[in-house]
Amino acid sequence: MALGERGGWDKSESRYCGVETDFNDDMPHLLSFNLSSGGFDFVVATLMDPNYRPSLIEKDIGGGSHFLPFAGSDLVLSPSQWSSHVVGKISSWIDLDSEDEILRMDSETTLKQEISWASHLSLQACLLPSPKGASCANYARCVNQILQSLNNMQLWLRIPLVKNDDDTMDFIPSGDSWELWNSFRLLCEHHSQLSVALDVLSSLPSANSLGRWFGEPVRAAIIHTDSFLTNARGYPCLSRRHQKLITGFLNHSIQVVISGKLNHGVPSVSLDSALDHTGTNVESSQRHSLRPYLDYIAYLYQRMDPLPEQERFELSYRDFLQSPLQGHNPLFHIISDEFCTIEFSNYYLSFQPLMDNLEAQTYETFEKDSVKYIQYQRAIGNALVDRVPDEEASSLTTVLMVVGAGRGPLVRASLQAAEETGRKLKIYAVEKNPNAVVTLHSLVRLEGWEKTVTIVSHDMRCWDAPEKADILVSELLGSFGDNELSPECLDGAQRFLKQDGISIPSSYTSFIQPVTASKLHNDVIPCLCVQVSLLEAISFSSKRVLALQVKSHKDVVHFETAYVVKVHSVARLAPCEPVFTFTHPNFSTKKSNQRYKKLRFEIPSDTGSAMVHGFAGYFDAMLYKDVHLGIEPSTATPNMFSWFAIFFPLRTPVCIRPGSPLEVHFWRCCGSTKVWYEWCVASPNPSPVHNSNGRSYWVGL
């Protein structure tokens, strides 16, 4: 039983709730009881008898060993049951860093045997026990060896979510469980198949400390029954802080697992009492002992606010890396469901804003952003009122030029602003894309704009205007403000703006902030199109997943490229800081669009240590006076979807310790044929300067 259906929401993994079980050698009955009677979606089950030790296995006379005491054979469940409903739990006794050599060797042998068996069963994941001490080097070494040859199965490292000042976990450096995880994943080279399963206990760290985990590869949250409180009716509930945390997990597709025994006075049934000696359910009317906890998690899930329409539209773009300003082509993916189904989504290909022309489908996507054009209309209307006094409104005509007119949305916004304010307009619509010009001419005829709008099929930087403009309007902004060459384009166009003319936008500023973004860092790959025939896709059987995967290219080029992305599974480690500002018009004789900025970020002290995988970039633009639009989180324009953030990755992630400032350097560099960014970290640990001389990522002039 999934946690529930929510209209218009995604079918994410967080809808499914599991239960941690004790060892039971009757796997079919264990599964049936917990899924049928308990209502859980999967079990986290020990695969091997906890009493098994390789060193105790007696050797046969012929030298062979007895069969290993697994929980039955692979035939006791169907392949789909193993894959969909069982997460393997590696024996909790193993200690690969023990001083006891026998225990250490037994642990290593058992770990490899159990993961090999889980892989044979095609399990989706295995839960690794927490490291037993402050040193986990041998444990991590062994896991890293396994990861090198592992199939698609995920390994979840169990990490207790403890408070920074909790003295009960002495083996964790600084009392911070994140340090334990960080040490382990560094030893495993940030492997993409190594994830986290957080043990959520009764006490929680600070909000800033918890926030780090949303940028880490957390796949499951194991909630212990002793973390629950009891409400007035005797049923389990969670504190407000725990509720907020679990809701955050659910929103980030992190699955919940219930663990422990019944701690509340609710009628229940145990596995032993529910099944007689033949395995028949003799007390089906009674509920599973942990069902009240499942019901409460379902309650939290179902009462979550429904996603706004914009968020639902953007779900498929979450944490999906794209090259800045791109065209798109449909690509189908196979998703796991009751039946093999096809899901269409946008697959993005690299696009240069000046060197290439947008396609009709891309124009259509941008034109649907009504919020953006409402803001532009407000700005144009205010500029018209300031430019033309009321007494001259009927006699004075304002010359307005839309540079980069596309298929005409800014032309329409300008005409509507003129109608609202009662001002007269003469519009020049300048557009370099010959295909969009065809649409503009058709629009002029259809709307009857012949006497008002003149279409100019030309690059704004080269056109010789017949007269000077009062107002210059453009929408050349990118996710980082200036990354789609708005400064260069408007510098070329401002020669036909009057000395006292108005530019809309009048200024824009880029911003960055350091982020933990493990998923984005692991997904830094080239934009490659994987083609699979429709027949091949449909031929896959029920419950199978066609994985269209391209191995990550961990090379310099892709880690020196900035990506546009709808950031979701990230931890924002510090407030945004401004980077580059451009103002228009700019009549300075010594103007240059090259920029350099040194930034310093202070991570809140109660956050603890954190890993910086890169920087999220945003912009805020002043269209005219107090009319602005932007995506910088603290001032973002609501319900606007034309821009996602930009992500500048670091080739090697940087670990920040409490109280240690992060010093970052950003450059905007300009050449005769291209513009590019360079960036680096100077403190606490220097990084290489990324994208030197635009060797990996640039925008062509």
The catalytic residues are: 475, 484
Q: At 220, which amino acid appears?
A: A
- Are residues 561 and 525 in contact, defined by beta-carbon separation less than 8 angstroms? no
Is 460 marked as a binding-site residue?
Answer: yes
Q: What is the DSSP letter of 225?
A: G
- Paired tokens of 608: 């603890």
Residue 590 sits at φ, ψ, to 5 deg, of -115, 30
Q: What is the DSSP letter of 311?
A: H
Helix (H), strand (E) at residue 519? helix 518-522
Q: Over the range 155-191, which residues count as b (16 or more CB within 10 Å of their CB) and which as e?
A: bbbbbbbbbbebeebeebeebbbbbbbbbbbebbebb
3-state secondary structure at position 687:
coil
Q: What is the DSSP letter of 606?
A: G
Q: What is the 3-state secondary structure (H, E, C) of 534-586?
A: HHHHHCCCCCCCCCCCCCCCCCHHHHCCCEEEECCCCEECCCCEEEEEEECCC
Sign of CA dihedral 420, 421, 426, 432: negative
- Paired tokens of 462: 């080269």
Token pair 């993994």 is at which residue? 13
Is 674 marked as a binding-site residue?
Answer: no
Is 301 marked as a binding-site residue?
Answer: no
Q: For the residues of 7-35, what is the DSSP string, one character each?
A: TT----GGG-EEEE----S-HHHHHHIII
Cα gap 543→565, rounded to integer Å: 30
Residues linked to residue 256 through DSSP beta bridges, in sequence order: 17, 221
In 592-672 the beta strands, taken as DSSP E runs, fall at 595-601, 610-624, 627-630, 645-656, 662-670
Is 153 marked as a binding-site residue?
Answer: no
Q: Over the range 611-633, which residues count as b (16 or more CB within 10 Å of their CB) and which as e?
A: bbbbbbbbbbbbbbeebbbbbbe
Is 519 marked as a binding-site residue?
Answer: no
Gap between the terminal Cα atoms of the chain: 56
Cα gap 562→391, rounded to integer Å: 51
Distance of CA 594 to the CA centre of its chain: 31
- Are residues 496 and 456 in contact, defined by beta-carbon separation less than 8 angstroms? no
- Are residues 632 and 493 in contact, defined by beta-carbon separation less than 8 angstroms? no
Cα gap 260→297, rounded to integer Å: 15
Binding residues for S-adenosyl-L-methionine: 363, 372-373, 431, 459-460
Binding residues: 363, 372-373, 431, 459-460
